[in-house]
Amino acid sequence: MISLNGLTKRYGDRPAVDGLTLELRPGTVTGFLGPNGAGKTTTMRLILGLDRPSSGTALIGGVPYHRIRNPLRTVGALLDARALHPGRSGHAHLVALARSNGVPRRRVTEVLETVGMAGAARKRAGALSLGMSQRLGIAAALLGDPQVLMFDEPVNGLDPDGVRWVRGLMRSLAAEGRTVFVSSHLMSEMQLTADHLVVIGKGRLIADAPLADVIAGSSLTSVLVRTPHAGDLAVRLRAAGITVDRYGENELEATGAALETVGDLAYEAGIRLHELRAKEASLEQAYQELTAGSVEYGAGA
């Protein structure tokens, strides 16, 4: 488990991470979201002891990273797929990591096969594509068979099959009882992968909740209705303060109201319904609502 308590990192007067307090639990894929510059990578670096916090703590299994006796066996991380010597082969890179951390050499072969890099392991790292480098970085994170895994944008550069493979890997690792913490800007992929979400903006915590709760909390969640009395129902719903859009003669969409509310109003008005169903907002829509005031680097129209 990863525990953050008031975690703060300042660069001069600017807080990159500002008082984060949360727990990342085993058996769960926790997605880490936020706009560019929100502090996601800095948070991960603080957890791994690569940066020193200005205040607060980041603990893994109850201790800071620098006090873990066998870090590679406890925490596996991929923060930068290109962070290895370009003249060294992927196989040599993993062998060096294994030898320096007391990991059996056979484990190198196992993780290379797991990530689909067995056939390219002798290539120099500088000759690898970004997608292949990502796979090699994931192999390094898995090398010590750790219980805590952290990945920063692990699907960058991967083709669709690779993205699907990473999704399955993350979920299988969590199913084994491991703590999996993964950041991404691909909302559609995160919606398919994560169980829980942590959202930050300008270094501050915006949301820490199950994925389903984050999406359900969006004001864009709506109710689709099909009825031969769509006009009458629209009048009734608008009188109750519900936003209504019409789609054809017999269909409408009510936004910002629960399905039960729409059904009850139709029943009270004696309006016959042919269809009544919820239309869930996407994670992208929910995320944009949550972070609307936290985007620092927005482009012009």
| Residue 17, domain CATH | 3.40.50.300
Q: What mean pLDDT comes out for the span 128-141?
A: 90
Query: Is there a single domain that holds both residue 192 and residue 234?
Result: no
pLDDT of residue 279: 83
Which domain does 82 fall in, by range? Answer: 2-209
Q: What is the total count of domains within the chain?
A: 2
Instruction: Say if residue 299's pLDDT is above 60.
Output: no
Same-domain status, 231 and 165: no
**pLDDT value at 300 more than 70:** no
Which two three-digit tokens encode residue 151?
A: 């990945």
Torsion of CA 107, 79, 87, 124, to 10 degrees: 60
- Band of the pLDDT at 68, cuts 50, 70, 90? very high
Helix axes 106-114, 90-100, angle to 10 degrees: 130
Q: What is the pLDDT of residue 297?
A: 55
Q: What was the pLDDT predicted at 298?
A: 55
Instruction: Look at residue 71 and tell me whether its pLDDT is greater than 80.
Output: yes
Enumerate the β-bridge partners of residue 59.
Answer: 3
Q: What is the pLDDT of residue 50?
A: 94
pTM here is: 0.82
**Domain harbouring 253, CATH code:** 3.30.70
Calculate mean pLDDT across residues 155-174.
92
- Taking 3-state DSSP, the helix, strand and coil percentages for the chain, each rounded to the nearest 5, stand at 35, 25, 35
Give the pLDDT score at 206.
Answer: 94
Virtual torsion, Cα 223, 228, 230, 233, nearest 10 deg = -80
**What is the mean predicted confidence (pLDDT) over 181-198?**
93
158 vs 19, 161, 162, CA distance in Å?
Answer: 34, 8, 5
CA 163-180-161 angle, 5° bins: 10
Looking at the structure, tell me whether residues 10 and 128 fall in a common domain: yes
Q: Please tell me what DSSP assigns to residue 127.
A: G
Beta strands in 112-250 (DSSP E): 148-152, 179-183, 196-201, 204-210, 222-226, 243-246
For residue 193, what are the CA distances in angstroms to 171, 184, 208, 214, 278? 7, 11, 16, 14, 22
Going through 213-297 in order, the beta strands assigned E by DSSP cover 222-226, 243-246, 251-255, 275-279
| Residue 301 domain-assigned (yes or no) | no
Task: Please give the single-letter amino acid code of residue 265.
Answer: L
- pLDDT bin (cut points 50, 70, 90) of residue 96 is very high
Q: Is the pLDDT of residue 183 over 90?
A: yes
Q: How far apart are CA 172 and CA 229, in angstroms?
A: 49
Please report which confidence band the pLDDT of residue 110 belongs to, taking 50, 70 and 90 as the band edges.
Answer: very high
Q: Are 204 and 243 members of one domain? A: no
For the chain, give the mean pLDDT: 90
Residues 51 and 198 both lie in one domain: yes
User: Where does a domain end: 162, 183, 209?
Assistant: 209
Taking the C-alpha atoms of 212, 216, 217 and 222 in order, what is their torsion angle to the nearest 10 degrees? 160
Q: pLDDT tens across 14-41, in order? A: 899 999 999 999 999 999 999 988 999 9
Q: Is residue 165 part of a domain?
A: yes
Does pLDDT of 289 surpass 90? Answer: no
Tell whether 215 is covered by a domain: no
Structure tokens at 214: 């984050």
Q: In this structure, is residue 77 part of a structural domain? A: yes
Q: Is residue 176 over pLDDT 90?
A: yes
Same domain, 122 and 244: no
- pLDDT cut 90: percent of the chain above it: 65
Model confidence band, residue 296 (pLDDT cutoffs 50, 70, 90): low
Give me the helices (H) in 4-105, please.
40-47, 71-74, 90-100
On whether both 117 and 250 belong to a single domain, the answer is no
Q: Tell me the pairing of strands 28-33 and 179-183.
A: parallel
pLDDT per residue over 215-264, tens digit each? 877 777 789 999 999 999 999 999 999 989 887 889 999 987 888 999 99
For residues 11-43, b (16+ Cβ closer than 10 Å) or e, as one string? eeeebbbbebebebeeebbbbbbbbebbbbbbb
Are 99 and 146 members of one domain?
yes
Residue 288 lies in a domain: no
Instruction: Give the domain-ending residue among 209, 244, 269.
Output: 209
Is 39 in the same domain as 170?
yes
Q: 81: burial class by Cβ within 10 Å (0-12, 13-18, 19+)?
A: buried
Per the domain annotation, does 297 fall within a domain? Answer: no
In 3D space, the residue among 161, 187, 180, 197 whose CA is nearest the CA of residue 32 turns out to be: 197
